[in-house]
Amino acid sequence: MNTLGHCRSEIVDAVHAQFQQMDQVIFAGATHRPGQLVAKELLRIAPEGLHKVFFSDNGSTAVEVGLKMALQFWFNQGCAHKKRFVALRHSYHGDTFGAMSVSEPSPFNSPFPLAGFPVSYLDPPVAGRVTPESVCEQVTALCSQYDDIAGFIYEPMVQGAGGMHMQNPVALEKMLETFRSHGVLCIADEVMTGFGRTGKMFASMYTSVQPDIMCVAKGLSGGTFPIAATLASEKIYEVFHHEDRQKAFFHGHSFTGNPLGCAAALASMKLLQSSETLASIEMISSMNQRFLEGFRDAPGREAFKDVRACGTILACEVDTVNQPSGYFNHLRDEIESFFLDRLIFARPLGNVVYLLPPYCSEQGQIYAFYDSVVALGESLLRKKSV
Ligand SMILES: Cc1ncc(COP(=O)(O)O)c(C=O)c1O
């Protein structure tokens, strides 16, 4: 979540200065300079085709806004029946009702009723498991079966909380292209993947087809403030921009576009684009690739079912023969304490231990993580053989 390190003076100073000018104003019927500057900069660095910014407070609400925009896009045009969302298996989009409803069914969301729209799930375009052709067939079949699809929501390139599953960009592109050709809106949830995580500024930049709506949070402020945004294309905006006020997008929170959060976001985006940070992102990404190559024949490798990387993210999935992979896998606590003993707070997703480092991490810190992965593998194999 933290992308630039804690208490960076550039961010602290910017927030401090903003606090002395204006701390908070409701962002309805009012605007302010920090908000305008963040929107401008965000659109400058965003994937092509996104033209408008809607602020909110966290990843879940950014997704909520994206879903509501998609539903009302159709409603405003007399297509109120278009209420269905397509999502990916293993997806996680947040804990508010809409975001929960498009996340994969799991103990996290099963006690709660769906938000009032139907959801269909597709297999993610995971590298090595699907072909671009099979993805295209699945999407076409779904779009022929349902004429009520409002949008397709997806975590591009890496599905985070669902297990750090990584995708084949060619298959992802085919998926987006096929949805687009059936008039389905594409909603990229870049809450985890945005701001350099996958090696590019946004994971959507791995494909040539860009989303109609994109949700960002965490890394927008470097992980320092509860500020988020949903970006939309001109095509979406035009449907809301109307003389009839009932067509407006009625959504807002008291702290939407909070000026302090905006100051943090502005300073954080500047820091993110510094040559020092960009070089670090590249360094960590190539260290991950080298680790993958070196680990292939290393002792301990056999304990893992899969080891994968995308940009600065590395995920190591322990092979647990009698239990499915996932958040509730029994190995979670064991892996966590194994890493804690080495002074690394790893927070594994069940049997998947992952690296999601701030870009200011030093090489030695990254190597310490790799060494612990190797040691974990060796230790698990030793136990198995006893
Ligand atoms: C892809 C994705 N979407 C949405 C969310 C929800 O964000 P938040 O915890 O800020 O509500 C998360 C959080 O981990 C996420 O990884």
H/E/C letters for each residue in 284-304? HHHHHHHHHHHHCCCCCHHHE
- Among 254, 272, 290, residue at a domain's last position: 272
Last residue of a domain, one of 226, 247, 272: 272
CATH of the domain at 250: 3.40.640.10
Give the domain range for residue 281: 275-385
pLDDT at site 142: 97
Question: Strand (E) positions, the chain?
Answer: 52-56, 84-88, 119-122, 149-154, 158-159, 165-166, 185-189, 213-216, 228-232, 304-310, 313-318, 352-355
Residues 260 and 318 in one domain: no
Report the pLDDT averaged over residues 326-337.
92
User: In the chain, how many domains are there?
Assistant: 2
Place of tokens 């397509």: 86
Q: How confident is the model at residue 299 (pLDDT cuts 50, 70, 90)?
A: confident
% of the chain with per-residue pLDDT over 70: 100
> Taking a C-beta distance cutoff of 8 angstroms, is the pair 139, 179 a contact?
yes
Res. 358 pLDDT band, cuts 50 70 90: very high
**Strand-strand pairing, 185-189 and 149-154:** parallel
Nearest CA to ligand 1 atom 3: 93
Residue range 64-88: mean pLDDT, rounded = 98
Q: Is residue 4 part of a domain?
A: no
Q: What is the pLDDT of residue 129?
A: 80
Residue 167, in any domain of the structure: yes
The per-residue pLDDT for 328 is 86
Provide the CB-side half-sphere exposure for 7 (13 A, CA). Answer: 0
pLDDT at site 29? 87
pLDDT band at 88 (very low <50, low <70, confident <90, very high): very high
Task: For residue 32, name the pLDDT band (cuts at 50, 70, 90).
Answer: very high
**Domain contains 100:** yes
Interval 112-139 mean pLDDT: 90
The answer to the question of residue 1 being in a domain is no
Q: How many CA within 13 A on the CB side of residue 313? A: 26
Measure the CA–CA gap between 248 and 367, rounded to whole angstroms: 51
Closest residue (by CA) to atom 9 of ligand 1?
59
Query: With bands split at pLDDT 50, 70 and 90, how would you rate the model's confidence at 116?
Result: confident
pLDDT given for residue 292 in this prediction: 97
Tell whether 242 and 210 lie within a shared domain: yes
Identify whether residues 14 and 162 lie together within a single domain.
yes
What is the distance between the alpha carbons of residues 9 and 260, in angstroms, rounded to a whole number? 15
How would residue 326 be classed by pLDDT, with cut points 50, 70 and 90? confident
Question: Which letter does DSSP use for residue 172 in this model?
Answer: H
Q: Which residues lie below 8 Å from residue 35, measured CB to CB, with a gap of 6+?
A: 27, 55, 257, 259, 262
What confidence category does residue 60 fall into, taking pLDDT thresholds of 50, 70 and 90?
A: very high
Q: Is the CB of 158 under 6 A from ligand 1?
A: no
Nearest atom, ligand 1, residue 60 CA: 11
pLDDT of residue 338: 97
Of 244, 272, 300, at which residue does a domain stop?
272
Instruction: Calculate mean pLDDT across residues 341-354.
Output: 96
- Do residues 238 and 312 both lie within one domain? no
pLDDT confidence tier of residue 325, bands split at 50, 70 and 90: confident
Domain-located, residue 162: yes
Residue 308 lies inside a defined structural domain of this protein? yes
> What pLDDT is recorded for position 130?
84
Say what the pTM is.
Answer: 0.97
User: Which residue matches tokens 């056999």?
Assistant: 302
Residue 384: band (very low, low, confident or very high) from pLDDT cuts 50, 70, 90: confident
Pocket flag, ligand 1, residue 35 (CB < 6 Å): no
- Distance from residue 300's CA to the centre of ligand 1 (Å): 32
Q: Is 160 in the pocket of ligand 1 (CB under 6 A)?
A: yes
**pLDDT above 90 for 163:** yes
Same domain, 211 and 301: no
pLDDT score at 322? 78
pLDDT digits (tens, 9 = 90+) for 145-158: 999 999 999 999 99
Look at residue 147 in the predicted model and tell me its pLDDT: 97
Q: Which residue has the higher pLDDT, 327 or 295?
A: 295
Q: What is the mean pLDDT of residues 245-270?
A: 96
Average pLDDT, the chain: 96
Residue 115, pLDDT score = 81
Same domain, 346 and 237: no
164 lines ligand 1 (CB under 6 A): no
- Proportion of the chain above pLDDT 90, given as a percent: 90
Looking at the fold, whether 268 and 288 belong to one and the same domain comes out as no
- CA 358 / ligand 1 centre spacing (Å): 17
In a domain, 3, yes or no: no
Question: Is the domain of 186 the same as that of 318?
Answer: no
188-234 pLDDT, tens digit per residue, is 999 999 999 999 999 999 999 999 999 999 999 999 999 999 999 99
Ligand 1, atom 16: closest residue by C-alpha = 192
Kindly tell me if the per-residue pLDDT of 360 is higher than 90: yes
Tell which wins on pLDDT, 282 or 131. 282
Q: Check if 47 has its Cβ closer than 6 Å to any atom of ligand 1.
A: no
As to burial, measured by CB atoms within 10 angstroms (0-12 exposed, 13-18 middle, 19+ buried), residue 191 is buried
Determine the residue type at 293: E
Q: Are residues 287 and 267 in the same domain?
A: no
- Is 165 strand, coil or helix? strand
Q: Tell me: do 118 and 206 sit in the same domain.
A: yes
Residue 2 lies in a domain: no
Please tell me which residue, 386 or 45, carries the higher pLDDT value: 45
CA of 134 to the centre of ligand 1 (A): 29
Looking at the fold, whether 120 and 263 belong to one and the same domain comes out as yes
CATH of the domain at 283: 3.90.1150.10
**What's the confidence (pLDDT) of residue 122?**
96
Same-domain check for residues 284 and 259: no
The minimum-distance atom of ligand 1 relative to the CA of 159 is: 1
